[in-house]
A = this chain, B = another copy of it.
Amino acid sequence: MISVGIIGASGYTGGELLRLLENHREVEVVSATSRQYSGVPVSRVHPHLQDTDLKFEDVGAGEIDADLVFTATPHGASMKIVPQLIERGIRVVDLSGDYRFDDTETYEEWYGIEHESPLDAVYGLPEIHREEIASADLVANPGCFPTGAILACLPLVYEKIADTFIIDSKTGVSGAGVKPTALTHYPHCSDNVIPYNVTGHRHTPEIRQELSRLNPVRLSFTPHLVPVTRGILTTAHTFLLEDLKQGEIADIFRGFYDGEPFVRVVEGIPGLSAVRGSNFCHIGCFDVDDNQRAVIVSAIDNLVKGASGQAIQNMNIMFGFREVEGLDFPGMYP
């Protein structure tokens, strides 16, 4: 049993951490922080969590006491909190973008912020970095789009079957966070499909970094907001360098992800509702057209495998728990 704190627990990823940890047998949540809701019962802000007695606290990184802290804080904020936690000997899974990049320049260029406190961190995609995660003090939890996109492309890059990718992603609105904006206003985004940050989304360099570790790639990325609450459907278009058929590509994926606890190579087309609420990534399609363009489709829940579930998976690895502890349940369909 370890003690866990959540800094920034009033948002959606904070709520998901609390929901998922409620049934985790190795963890006790000892602190859930929120400046805005300090003193307010968690059940007021997260209406599904009626059975917790926790109240939000306004506790800083210098006071929080736990074996592990999840920092569910925005980029720019994490870099002010994480170093102090690490210094105090607390292991950290950071859900922001602040520690995801190998080089600070890329971060500063794409995020437009000077990085005050770079630290060594492991990129927390277990399908690539499981071993380093196990011994890491600081894990940078991947972005939601990168999780879906990297898992859809990885086997092809590894096998050098493809090096040019156009990633056309469709995300549910919860990915934009809990704060109301003109973009997420129901009458604006319902019955609509809204491309945004079409060529300049910050997750682009993150996807490129992880795939390029294996082999060079030329990758373009465009996200769309769709009228869906949860989920990211990634359509990866690529031109094959070899003449492969659908079944052969599927076999490559099945071999590559064999034994992975949360990746499933499915028959047919993955659906968002099949992974809803769960930590699974479904991958499928593998169609090839007469232009040698192949299509790989992946589906995740952006708040679970794309954020809080993956953070817990990383924690499980870091502390030697069963990797699936607290996460071994299927998605919710319909």
Report whether B184 and A180 are in contact in the complex, using a CB–CB cutoff of 8 Å. yes
Check: A2 CB closer than 8 A to any chain B CB: no
Check: A209 CB closer than 8 A to any chain B CB: no
B residues less than 8 Å from A49 (CB atoms):
330
Report whether A186 and B173 are in contact in the complex, using a CB–CB cutoff of 8 Å. yes
B residues less than 8 Å from A50 (CB atoms):
264, 266, 274, 280, 282, 330
Known contacts A48-B330, A180-B184, A198-B287; A229 and B295 CB within 8 A of each other: no
B residues less than 8 Å from A277 (CB atoms):
277, 332
**In the bound complex, how far is the Cα of B227 from the Cα of A272, in angstroms?**
12
Report whether B220 and A291 are in contact in the complex, using a CB–CB cutoff of 8 Å. yes
Report whether B194 and A269 are in contact in the complex, using a CB–CB cutoff of 8 Å. yes
**In the bound complex, how far is the Cα of B204 from the Cα of A193, in angstroms?**
22
| Interface SS of chain A | loop
Q: Which of A115-123, A133-141, A151-159, A231-239 contacts B (4 or more CB under 8 A)?
A: A231-239
**In the bound complex, how far is the Cα of B292 from the Cα of A166, in angstroms?**
12
**In the bound complex, how far is the Cα of B43 from the Cα of A22, in angstroms?**
28
Check: A230 CB closer than 8 A to any chain B CB: yes
Report whether A220 and B289 are in contact in the complex, using a CB–CB cutoff of 8 Å. yes
Q: Which residue of B lies closest to A52 (CB)?
A: B330
Check: A334 CB closer than 8 A to any chain B CB: yes
**In the bound complex, how far is the Cα of B266 from the Cα of A50, in angstroms?**
8
Q: Which residue of B lies closest to A47 (CB)?
A: B274
Check: A187 CB closer than 8 A to any chain B CB: yes
B residues less than 8 Å from A12 (CB atoms):
187, 334
Report whether B233 and A193 are in contact in the complex, using a CB–CB cutoff of 8 Å. yes
Q: In the complex, which of the residues B195, B276, B293 contacts A220, with contact meaning CB atoms closer than 8 Å?
A: B293
CB within 8 Å of B: which A6-42 residues: 12, 15, 19, 22-23
- 23 pairs of residues in contact across A and B, judged by CB atoms under 8 Å: A12-B187, A19-B332, A23-B329, A48-B276, A50-B280, A51-B264, A51-B330, A166-B168, A166-B293, A170-B224, A173-B186, A174-B187, A180-B180, A180-B184, A186-B227, A187-B334, A188-B334, A195-B285, A198-B297, A199-B288, A220-B291, A222-B235, A332-B332
